[in-house]
A and B are shown apart, each in its own frame.
Chain A
Amino acid sequence: MNLEELKKIRESAQKDVELRQKQARIKVVVGMGTSGIAAGAREVLKAFLDEIATRNLTDVMITQTGEKGLASHEPMVEVHEEGKSVVIYGNLDSDKARKIVANHIVNDKPVTEFVIEVK
């Protein structure tokens, strides 16, 4: 496997790049401050990225943020969706992150048991 293979990906991916540039349907923000990382935020972010890759979710955008001041609920993520309230999940791990992708992001059913705040 070498970097040249990226050229093939470029050709197949270029068609949905235009779509993405308009607006991602869902934005997931992962808290990557020191306390988040210490609590396992890297594994949570990795799980989101893996799911996006496996499910080929081209309309989901993953970004990260620094300290959130809610260290007791780390790892935390916010799910932003146009026209809907922001859902904040806390105390996550990679399994919970995968469940959020399957239920909330793909099937539009927030996983209420992991929700710590809706705003």
Chain B
Amino acid sequence: MMDEISSHIMDIVANSVSAKAKNIIVVITKDTKKSLLTLRIRDDGVGMDEDMAEKVQDPFFSTKIGKKVGLGIPLLKGTAETTEGSFRLTSKLGEGTEIFVSFNVNHPDLPPMGRLKDTVFVIVAGNPEIDFQFQIINDGKEFVLDTTEIRALLDGVPINHPEVLTFLSKYLDENM
């Protein structure tokens, strides 16, 4: 169903947005030598109690009509487990949720990363009220995008203003 790792990221971030997060941190690391790809997505949204945190990982629960959290978490967990990786969800009611996933990059069933640049762009531009911190470490090479820094420079001009969108798109093309 999800043919790219970046689609999984998009989807998990959408959960954080639904959970009314104000700050979302996304850390992606790839270490070719260790054959390891990891994702960490942390939010300060409403969070879940233990019971709920377990239920959202269950595909038979999360597909029920009317639930705010869809099939995305079980799908991500499935991808992690299929590629001999790991999945961990920690959440605290009123504090937020963190998802940590690892994948074996050499596993034949690992989907490609896909359009990560588009994903970052769409996440940042599509949620102008939320602050995002993206940290992408690709074999030691680091890229950071912190919207609090952007917001400070913009001084009231929204991040989804057409001119800012044009800038952001080019900036990601050149730097990411």
- Judge if A25 is at the interface, Cβ distance under 8 Å: no
Summed over the interface, the residue pairs from A and B with CB atoms below 8 Å come to a total of 123
Q: By the criterion CB–CB under 8 Å, are B153 and A45 in contact? A: no
Q: By the criterion CB–CB under 8 Å, are B156 and A38 in contact? A: no
Contacts of B165 in A (CB 8 A): 49-50, 52-53
- Judge if B2 is at the interface, Cβ distance under 8 Å: yes
Chain B residues touching A, majority SS: helix
- Judge if B154 is at the interface, Cβ distance under 8 Å: yes
Q: By the criterion CB–CB under 8 Å, are A30 and B7 in contact? A: no
- Judge if B80 is at the interface, Cβ distance under 8 Å: no
Q: By the criterion CB–CB under 8 Å, are A7 and B153 in contact? A: yes
Inter-chain CA distance A58–B14, complex, in Å, is 25
Contacts of A20 in B (CB 8 A): 158, 161
Tier of interface size on chain B: 35 or more
- Judge if B167 is at the interface, Cβ distance under 8 Å: yes
- Judge if B29 is at the interface, Cβ distance under 8 Å: no
* Interface flags, B156-176, vs A, CB<8A=1, else 0: 111011111111011100110
Known: A1-B171, A14-B156, A17-B156. A66 touches B163 (CB 8 A): no
Inter-chain CA distance A69–B7, complex, in Å, is 19
Known: A37-B11, A64-B127. A9 touches B122 (CB 8 A): no
Known: A1-B175, A30-B126, A49-B165. A37 touches B10 (CB 8 A): yes
Task: With both chains docked as a complex, state the minimum distance between the C-beta of B6 and any C-beta of chain A, in angstroms.
Answer: 8
Besides A17-B157, A20-B161, A38-B2, 8 new A-B residue pairs in contact (Cβ under 8 A), listed by A number = A6-B153, A17-B156, A32-B14, A34-B14, A37-B10, A42-B118, A49-B125, A66-B17
